Structure 1
Amino acid sequence: MTLSLKRLFSRSIVDGPEVIGPEAPPSPRSNRRRKMMLVVVAGTLAFVAAVASSYYFAMKPVPLRIAVGPANSDDVKVVQALVQAFSRDHSKVRLRPMFTDGATASAKALADGTADLAIIRGDLEVPKNARAVATLRKNVAVLWVPAVAKGKKGAPKITKIAQLSGRKIGVIGKTPANINLLNMVLRQYGIEPEKVQTVQFSTTEVAEAVKDQKVDAFLAAGPVNSKITSDAIAASSRDGAPTFLAIDAAAAVAQNFPVYEASEIPAGVFGGSPARPDDEIKTISFSHHIVARQGLTDAVVSVFTRQLFSIRQQLISDFPLAAKIETPDTDKDAVIPVHPGAAAYVDGEEKTFLDRYSDYIWWSLMGLSAMGSAGAWFASFMRRDERNANTSQRDRLLDMLAVARKSNSLEDLDRMQT
């Protein structure tokens, strides 16, 4: 023992001032306790930092590239409105538009992996990695014959699609997809495409084509309330009411080509007086879809789908086309398979933050608990010699105290230290 027993018990035997020696250095036990405290503090800080980092990355905005085209189309306007709305609301998913030449180029961008999302046309070839997220809008095919200008002699009047053989048909829009649509309808009525002459017009060339009587009939494809279609029909109505051609075989077309559906054009939807058309017209329809890459995570697609349908109501007043956005077909036999993330939103099975990460949080807590238990056992194991030494010294000190109380002189105390 480093302290003299004489100093410990001298006050009980001989009166005198207490003698205080030099301060003892810190014991190994206090050093170990300090180190353990530092380890605990460091571990706590590391855990808090890990939780904060996980929350930051979980809440960090996710940019998605969306391919859309052509320029100035309704599709581009919808996407631009969504971009602004998502940014204004500080949404988790943000859109980065990739402008293309049209739906075909947008589909290729998705297939190549350069885009995360794309707006594609349902009656074109769909990329193998495309999964449906939403139906942007439904389009109808409109076939009509302009009235013959007064004073001009024309061919016999056309009242049925079967009478288009040998005629010249103007297709509104430069996309090849509309030509394919026309050819499909003609074949349904037994007319080979080679038996008709087709010419494509831009939306600004329709009025001139009607004025010069360049074509016998027109085909347009777009939403029922499309301004482009309405303006084209109005331009062809200056010399009289146009004749609308019904696709009576719409159900058969839909049966043979699942990308199409039998549909109707409501009476008077194109305005005018008298109303255009004056009665409901049978036709076929197809959809424009918002699709996502198959490899895009379910969580991201689910969040995007929720944002899309939440923001839709806010956009309708300023952008009526947003009202056409619909949930995707979740049936297993859908033409475009639905993305699991979108299906989770539609079916009400969207996972929350805790649903997605509860297993990770649970196992992390279990791991920390196991590490704490292992650390406590290791610290106890490292202090086993110290505990044995402390026990031995305590027993010896108690024995010495008992002997010291019976001592009658300082010499007896000195002999106890030898």
Structure 2
Amino acid sequence: MFGLFAKQRVMGIVFAVVFLVAAAALGILYLWSPHATLRITSGVEGSKAQRFISAFIKVAEAQHPRIRFQTVPVASLTESAKALEQGKADIAIIRSDATLPANGETLVILRHDAVAVIVPHHSSISSLPDLTGKSVAIPSGPAQDDDSHALDLLLNFYNITPDKVKREFLAIEDIGPAILHKRVVAAVAVGPVGPGPAVDTVASIAAATKGTPKVLGFDDADAIVKRFPMFESYDVPEGGFKAKPAVPDDTVTMLAVNYRFAVPITMLDIVADAIGRSILTAKAQLMNVAPMAGQIEAPDVSDQNPLLPIHPGFAAYLSNGDQSFFDQAQRYLYIFGIPLSIGASLITLLVSMFNARGSKKDRDAVERLLSIAHEANTADRERLETLEKELHEAVADCIAKPGDAAKGEQWKTQLVLQHAMRRFERRDAALKAGGAPSQTPQAVDVSPSHSP
């Protein structure tokens, strides 16, 4: 009857030991693991993004010998986002106007690509709606479908259905001749202000038409961005696409998409922090092997409506600067410590509840013995024999469950048993003296050796 408390106390100790062993195992695994492996999407086959990923892995592994990167091949930017969603990748390269991972958060911005609508110098086209019913060229390659989709979104803003503007996917060197021979009236190229599809398309048109191409601006860029946040307003400086003659001939407000590294929401803050700061510090080295690395930048922490929020681990670094290892580790002590503390409190509560239940059983048993002893004072022979059986049952119940009470409570049960036995002996003697048949109650051993 009294062993429940002791058993729960043992269970509490076992749980505490398990928690401590688990915490120690995690600590040892972190400190002594030979290396960590991070899976990263490779970028579309043949794209500049793929070459950048290769350069990034080379530099990152040189900086962090204990980190290894495993590439996850993908056929498109949409597959890259899905790889992150499905847990097949830890870092994914994505484009803001392509499919975005539902579980993703931003680590760093890799580059901005302007959406350039380029027309020959003699063209009467001055805005995107003027392309209705006409054909345009889009540079062929790994990103051609994404570039075409970007055009669809912009046409949608002007309530123009995509099928109203025909597309031809052409090699960049063929775009200029296609415009010269009026197969197409314009070209839509998405690329950085620097080496890339947009700059090369301007050069192709200029060479074929023997004139300086024009790049269309977007006077309603802010309105487009509010409706389609995958775009951003982007000022292309004079000569951004061609130095002499300058294309554009003045600063033009255009639209742009961006490439970024996305990581899962579940990535530990300390890991996201380490990767993010490594990319920023390795920027100069990356530029030596991948020129596009010059555009790498940290996300804007103050952006209230980001397309993909910044991972909080890296955001903390951007907002507060370097933190000591203790400061970073302290968060995880809270994360693991709070559940452990709650668990210990729950165990203590359960032990207290079972202990209280055990104490009530003890009180009920004592009250039962007292009741038997009190009734034995006036019982006749027949009733005394019945009470004697009840006494034996109560004693047997106590002995069958040894140790159910705390040792400090044992004396109460022993005292009540002795009291009951004396009452039985006195009543039996009284009944004998009165001439009634006698049956002496059997002695019950209540010495400590039978108690817990």
Deviation of 1:118 (Å): 0.3
Aligned equivalents of 2:186, 2:155: Cα separation in 1: 13
Superposed counterparts of 1:49-198, under 5 Å:
54=28, 57=31, 60-147=34-121, 157-174=124-141, 175-198=144-167
Letter in 2 for 1:169: V
Q: Which residue in 2 is equivalent to 1:293?
A: 264
Aligned equivalents of 1:247, 1:294: Cα separation in 2: 35
Deviation digits for residues 356-387 of structure 1 (CA, Å, limit 9, x no counterpart): 55686xx9xxxxxxxxxxxxxxxxxxxxxxxx
Q: Which residue in 2 is equivalent to 1:271?
A: 242
Given that residues 138 and 170 in structure 2 are in contact (C-alpha distance below 8 angstroms), is that contact kept between their aligned partners in structure 1?
yes
Deviation digits for residues 334-375 of structure 1 (CA, Å, limit 9, x no counterpart): 220221222122123665433455686xx9xxxxxxxxxxxx
Q: 2:279 aligns with which of 302, 308, 320?
A: 308
Deviation of 1:212 (Å): 4.6
Q: 1:205 to 1:95 in 2, by over 3 A?
A: farther
Is the partner of 1:187 in helix, strand or coil? Answer: helix
Superposed counterparts of 1:14-413, under 5 Å:
54=28, 57=31, 60-147=34-121, 157-174=124-141, 175-203=144-172, 205-207=174-176, 209-210=178-179, 212-238=181-207, 239=209, 240-330=211-301, 331-348=303-320, 352-357=324-329
Given that residues 93 and 303 in structure 1 are in contact (C-alpha distance below 8 angstroms), is that contact kept between their aligned partners in structure 2?
no
Aligned equivalents of 1:58, 1:324: Cα separation in 2: 36
Aligned equivalents of 1:326, 1:98: Cα separation in 2: 24
Aligned equivalents of 2:65, 2:314: Cα separation in 1: 17
Aligned equivalents of 2:305, 2:241: Cα separation in 1: 34
Deviation of 1:286 (Å): 1.9
Deviation digits for residues 294-325 of structure 1 (CA, Å, limit 9, x no counterpart): 22222211111121111112323443321211
Q: Percent identity?
A: 28
Given that residues 165 and 195 in structure 1 are in contact (C-alpha distance below 8 angstroms), is that contact kept between their aligned partners in structure 2?
yes
Given that residues 173 and 201 in structure 1 are in contact (C-alpha distance below 8 angstroms), is that contact kept between their aligned partners in structure 2?
yes
Letter in 1 for 2:297: E
Aligned equivalents of 2:268, 2:182: Cα separation in 1: 54
Given that residues 69 and 106 in structure 1 are in contact (C-alpha distance below 8 angstroms), is that contact kept between their aligned partners in structure 2?
yes
Q: 1:187 to 1:86 in 2, by over 3 A?
A: closer
Q: 1:347 to 1:93 in 2, by over 3 A?
A: farther
Aligned equivalents of 2:247, 2:277: Cα separation in 1: 38
Given that residues 133 and 342 in structure 1 are in contact (C-alpha distance below 8 angstroms), is that contact kept between their aligned partners in structure 2?
yes
Letter in 2 for 1:336: L
TM-score by length of 1: 0.66
Deviation of 1:197 (Å): 1.4
Given that residues 173 and 203 in structure 1 are in contact (C-alpha distance below 8 angstroms), is that contact kept between their aligned partners in structure 2?
yes
Is the partner of 1:241 in helix, strand or coil? Answer: coil
Given that residues 93 and 304 in structure 1 are in contact (C-alpha distance below 8 angstroms), is that contact kept between their aligned partners in structure 2?
no
Deviation of 1:272 (Å): 4.8
Deviation of 1:163 (Å): 1.9
Aligned equivalents of 1:161, 1:56: Cα separation in 2: 55
Given that residues 341 and 350 in structure 1 are in contact (C-alpha distance below 8 angstroms), is that contact kept between their aligned partners in structure 2?
no
Given that residues 105 and 311 in structure 2 are in contact (C-alpha distance below 8 angstroms), is that contact kept between their aligned partners in structure 1?
yes
Deviation of 1:68 (Å): 3.2
Unpaired segments ≥5 residues, structure 2: 1-20, 338-452
Is the partner of 2:44 in helix, strand or coil? Answer: coil
Given that residues 43 and 53 in structure 2 are in contact (C-alpha distance below 8 angstroms), is that contact kept between their aligned partners in structure 1?
no
Aligned equivalents of 2:59, 2:80: Cα separation in 1: 22
Given that residues 147 and 236 in structure 1 are in contact (C-alpha distance below 8 angstroms), is that contact kept between their aligned partners in structure 2?
no
Deviation of 1:91 (Å): 4.3
Aligned equivalents of 1:234, 1:259: Cα separation in 2: 28
Aligned length: 308
Deviation of 1:130 (Å): 0.5
Q: 1:56 to 1:334 in 2, by over 3 A?
A: closer
Is the partner of 1:124 in helix, strand or coil? Answer: coil
Aligned equivalents of 1:90, 1:265: Cα separation in 2: 37
Deviation of 1:194 (Å): 2.6
Letter in 2 for 1:233: V
Aligned equivalents of 1:284, 1:58: Cα separation in 2: 49
- Decide which structure has greater helix share: 2
Given that residues 302 and 350 in structure 1 are in contact (C-alpha distance below 8 angstroms), is that contact kept between their aligned partners in structure 2?
no
Given that residues 91 and 307 in structure 1 are in contact (C-alpha distance below 8 angstroms), is that contact kept between their aligned partners in structure 2?
no
Deviation of 1:122 (Å): 0.8
Is the partner of 1:290 in helix, strand or coil? Answer: strand
Aligned equivalents of 2:139, 2:181: Cα separation in 1: 16
Given that residues 114 and 256 in structure 2 are in contact (C-alpha distance below 8 angstroms), is that contact kept between their aligned partners in structure 1?
yes
Q: 1:58 to 1:344 in 2, by over 3 A?
A: farther
Aligned equivalents of 2:104, 2:25: Cα separation in 1: 35
Q: 1:163 to 1:54 in 2, by over 3 A?
A: same
Q: 1:273 to 1:52 in 2, by over 3 A?
A: closer
Aligned equivalents of 2:29, 2:83: Cα separation in 1: 32
Q: Compare 202-211 and 187-196 and name the one that shifted more.
A: 202-211
Aligned equivalents of 1:299, 1:272: Cα separation in 2: 44
Letter in 2 for 1:311: A
Deviation digits for residues 195-250 of structure 1 (CA, Å, limit 9, x no counterpart): 22122234464355345542111001111213322121111112222232222211
Aligned equivalents of 1:228, 1:347: Cα separation in 2: 35
Aligned equivalents of 1:52, 1:167: Cα separation in 2: 63
Is the partner of 1:69 in helix, strand or coil? Answer: strand
Letter in 2 for 1:303: A
Deviation of 1:59 (Å): 6.5
Deviation of 1:58 (Å): 5.6
Deviation of 1:255 (Å): 1.7
